[in-house]
C-alpha cells in the first residue's frame, strides 16, 4: 500500500502540508494517491539519523552489509506484481520492461553483496616497517579505502528501479558503508515508496542502524537543494539532465565544505559508420539502428542520437532506409507529459536549424504523450558551424551527419562534448584505417562499442558508464558495475599503529 509519506529512517512521516500526485502518461490521468513533500525539519531529521548511523554502519563487517543488500533484493521480489503495476502506471513503460528492470536491480544488489563479502575491494596495501633502513628508518604504513559518509541519491526519471531508490547509486553506496538518503523522483514516487519499504524491512531484519536509509518526497527542486547544501551530507549521486546535474554540482562546490557530485548526464552517443560497412550492410544497419533509436521511446542515456558517415550514394540510400524503418515503428508512450513536451520542443528547435533536413517523421495520429519519431540529416560543415546541432534530443530522434572526408569526420569527433559512448561500425578490410578515429573517439567517450549499438548496458566489472564532461562530472568513475563503489570511498593510511588498534583487514 502506498501511504504517500516519507521514510525518515525506519519511520513513516508526513509533517508537511504540500502534496502532489504522480501521473499515468498512458492513460493521461493522475494516479489516485497523494504524496507529501518532505519539510526542512524532516530533512534535518533524516540527515541527523544518517550521520548517527554512519558511526556504526561504517564499521559493520562486509559480510553483514552483504546480507543487508541480499535482504533488500529479497524484499523487492516479495513486493510481487503490485510493484510492477505501480511502476507501469507511473512511467507508461510496459510490464516486460518493468520485469527486466527489476531483474537488473536485483542483480546489482547481489553483485555488490558478492563484492563486499571479502575485503579485497578495499585495495588493501601493507608496507611493514624497516627500522634499520639507512639513511632513514621506514615507518609501518597500511592503507585501505574507507567510506565518505552519508550520500544523497537522486532517483532518475527514466529508470524507476535500476537508477533510483535501490538502484546502482544506492546499492554501491550502501555496499561501501555509506548511509543513503534518497530524494525520490516525483514522476515515480509511488514506486519509490514501495521500494523504500523493502529497504527498511531489510534493514530491520538484518540489524542495520536506524538512519542507514531514508526516502524523501519532493515535487520540485527544493528538497534536493536543501539536501545537497546540508553539512551532514558528504556526497551526491545523480542521473539526469545536464542542467540538473550541473546545478547540483555548482551547489556542492560552493559549500563551505565542498563535496563530490557524481552526476551522469547528457549524451548523444556518436556512431561512426565506415564506408565499406555502409556499402555492404546498409539494410541490416538501417534495421538495427531503427530499433535502437526507438527502443524505450528513445528514453535511454545511451540512445544513438548522432550517426556520422561519408557523403556518397551508399549513405544517401542508408539514410532513406533508416528513416523509413524508424518511422514505421509504432509510436510509444513517453515517461511524462513534461518529458514529451520537452522532446517536442527540442525536436522543433533542431529541425529549424539552418542546413538541417528532416528526412522522415512519424505522421500517424498518436495518443496523448506518445512520441513521433524523426530522422534528420545535415552536412559535416553545417554541423561543425552550428553548436545547436550538438544538443541531446531525449526521445526517438537521431541525426545523420554526412562528412566530405575523413579529416572532417575526425574534426567533428574532436569537437564533440564528452559522451557516454561512441560506436564504430566497420568491416574487416577497414580495420587498418581506424587508428586516428579510435584515438580521437577515445578522448571524447567513456566506452567504444564495435559493430553493435550503444543501447543496453551490461552490469559487470569491465563496464564504464561515464565519460568526459558533460557525460559525467568525473570521467574517472563509472555509474554502472561493481567499480561504481569507488565513488563513495577515499584512501586512508595508518602509520606505525599498534596492531590491536588496526582494522581487521589491515592486521
Which pLDDT does position 56 carry in this prediction? 98
Active site residue 460: no
Instruction: Find cell 521480489 and name the residue.
Output: 77
Say what the pLDDT of residue 85 is.
Answer: 98
Separation CA 450–CA 454 (nearest Å): 9
Domain coverage including residue 293: 270-450
294 inside domain:
yes
Looking at the structure, do residues 296 and 232 belong to the same domain, yes or no? Answer: no
**Confidence (pLDDT) at 1:** 84
Q: What is the pLDDT of residue 365?
A: 86
What is the per-residue pLDDT for 173?
Answer: 98
Please indicate, yes or no, whether residues 254 and 311 belong to a single structural domain of this protein: no
Q: What angle do CA 40, 41, 45 make, to 5 degrees?
A: 115
Whether 162 and 114 map to the same domain: the answer is yes
392 lies in some domain: yes
Domain with residue 53: its CATH number is 3.40.605.10
Residues 398 and 349 in one domain: yes
Q: Do 206 and 319 lie in a common domain?
A: no
In a domain, 456, yes or no: no
Going by C-alpha positions, the residue among 469, 484, 18 that lies closest to residue 216 is: 18
- Contact predicate 333/297, CB 8 Å: yes
What pLDDT is recorded for position 253? 98
363 is catalytic: no
Quick one: pLDDT at residue 266?
87
DSSP tag of 417: P
- 465 Cβ contact partners less than 8 Å away, ≥ 6 residues apart: 264, 420, 446, 447, 457, 478, 479, 480, 481
Domain match, 97 and 240 both: yes
300 and 373 share a domain? yes
Query: CATH number for the domain including 291?
Result: 3.40.309.10
The pTM of this model reads 0.96
Q: Does residue 255 sit within a domain?
A: yes
Tell me whether strands 11-13 and 6-8 are parallel, antiparallel or unpaired.
antiparallel
Say yes or no: 259 and 294 in one domain.
Answer: no
Give the Cα separation of 194 and 63 in Å (integer): 26
pLDDT at residue number 158: 96
What confidence score (pLDDT) does residue 311 get?
A: 97
Residue 66 within a domain: yes
Instruction: Answer yes or no: do 439 and 356 share one domain.
Output: yes
Query: Is there a domain that residue 216 lies in?
Result: yes
**Residue at 71 is within a domain:** yes
Torsion angles phi and psi, residue 471, rounded to 5: -60, -40
pLDDT of residue 456: 87
Task: Check whether residue 226 and residue 305 sit in a common domain.
Answer: no
Domain co-membership, 141 together with 203: yes
Residue in 178, 301, 309, 333 annotated catalytic: 301
Over the chain (507 residues), what is each successive 10-residue block's mean pLDDT?
Answer: 96 98 98 97 98 98 98 98 98 96 98 97 97 96 98 97 98 98 98 98 98 98 98 98 96 98 96 97 97 97 97 97 97 97 96 96 93 98 97 97 98 98 97 96 98 95 97 97 98 97 94
Q: Give the pLDDT confidence score for residue 189 in this predicted structure.
A: 98
In 3D, which of 179, 120, 126 has the Cα closest to residue 148?
A: 179
Number of domains in the chain: 2
Selected catalytic residue, list 264, 392, 408, 417: 264
Q: Is residue 3 part of a domain?
A: no
- 246 and 279 share one domain: no
Amino acid at each position: 500500500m502506498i501511504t504517500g509519506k516519507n521514510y525518515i529512517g525506519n519511520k513513516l512521516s508526513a509533517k508537511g502540508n504540500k502534496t502532489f500526485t504522480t501521473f499515468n502518461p498512458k492513460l493521461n490521468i493522475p494516479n489516485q494517491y497523494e504524496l507529501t513533500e518532505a519539510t526542512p525539519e524532516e530533512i534535518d531529521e533524516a540527515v541527523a539519523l544518517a550521520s548517527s548511523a554512519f558511526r556504526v554502519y561504517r564499521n559493520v563487517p562486509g559480510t553483514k552489509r552483504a546480507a543487508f543488500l541480499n535482504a533488500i533484493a529479497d524484499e523487492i521480489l516479495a513486493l510481487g506484481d503490485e510493484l510492477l503495476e505501480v511502476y507501469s502506471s507511473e512511467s507508461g513503460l510496459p510490464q516486460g520492461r518493468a520485469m527486466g528492470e527489476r531483474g537488473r536491480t536485483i542483480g546489482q544488489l547481489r553483485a555488490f553483496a558478492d563484492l563486499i563479502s571479502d575485503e579485497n575491494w578495499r585495495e588493501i596495501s601493507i608496507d611493514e616497517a624497516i627500522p634499520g633502513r639507512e639513511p632513514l628508518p621506514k615507518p609501518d604504513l597500511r592503507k585501505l579505502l574507507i567510506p565518505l559518509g552519508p550520500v544523497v541519491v537522486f532517483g532518475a526519471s527514466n529508470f524507476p528501479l535500476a537508477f533510483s531508490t535501490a538502484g546502482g547509486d544506492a546499492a554501491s553506496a550502501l555496499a561501501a558503508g555509506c548511509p543513503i538518503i534518497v530524494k525520490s523522483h516525483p514522476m515515480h514516487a509511488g514506486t519509490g515508496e514501495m521500494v523504500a519499504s523493502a529497504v527498511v524491512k531489510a534493514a530491520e531484519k538484518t540489524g542495520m542502524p536506524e538512519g542507514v536509509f531514508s526516502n524523501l518526497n519532493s515535487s520540485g527542486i527544493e528538497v534536493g537543494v536543501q539536501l545537497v547544501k546540508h553539512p551532514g551530507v558528504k556526497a551526491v549521486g545523480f542521473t539526469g539532465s545536464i542542467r540538473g546535474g550541473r546545478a547540483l554540482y555548482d551547489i556542492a562546490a560552493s559549500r563551505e565544505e565542498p563535496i563530490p557530485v557524481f552526476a551522469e548526464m547528457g549524451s548523444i552517443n556518436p556512431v561512426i559508420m565506415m564506408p565499406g560497412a555502409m556499402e555492404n550492410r546498409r539494410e541490416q544497419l538501417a534495421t538495427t539502428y531503427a530499433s535502437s533509436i526507438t527502443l524505450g521511446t528513445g528514453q535511454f542515456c545511451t540512445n544513438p542520437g548522432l550517426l556520422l558517415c561519408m557523403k556518397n550514394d551508399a549513405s544517401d540510400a542508408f539514410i532513406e532506409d533508416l528513416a523509413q524503418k524508424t518511422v514505421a515503428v509504432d509510436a510509444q508512450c513517453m515517461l511524462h507529459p513534461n518529458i514529451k513536451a520537452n522532446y517536442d520542443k527540442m525536436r522543433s528547435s533542431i529541425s529549424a536549424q539552418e542546413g538541417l533536413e528532416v528526412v522522415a517523421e512519424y505522421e500517424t495520429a498518436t495518443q496523448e504523450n506518445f512520441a513521433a519519431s524523426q530522422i534528420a540529416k545535415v552536412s559535416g560543415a553545417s554541423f561543425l558551424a552550428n553548436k545547436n546541432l550538438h544538443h541531446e534530443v531525449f526521445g526517438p530522434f537521431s541525426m545523420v551527419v554526412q562528412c566530405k572526408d575523413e579529416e572532417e569526420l575526425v574534426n567533428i569527433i574532436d569537437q564533440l562534448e564528452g559522451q557516454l559512448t561512441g560506436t564504430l561500425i566497420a568491416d574487416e578490410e577497414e580495420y587498418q584505417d581506424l587508428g586516428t578515429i579510435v584515438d580521437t573517439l577515445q578522448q571524447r567517450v567513456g566506452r567504444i562499442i564495435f559493430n553493435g549499438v550503444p543501447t543496453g548496458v551490461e552490469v559487470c566489472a569491465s563496464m564504464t558508464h561515464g565519460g568526459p564532461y558533460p557525460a559525467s562530472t568525473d570521467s574517472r568513475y563509472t555509474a554502472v558495475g561493481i567499480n561504481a563503489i569507488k565513488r563513495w570511498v577515499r584512501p586512508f593510511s595508518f602509520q606505525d599503529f599498534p596492531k590491536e588498534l588496526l582494522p581487521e583487514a589491515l592486521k
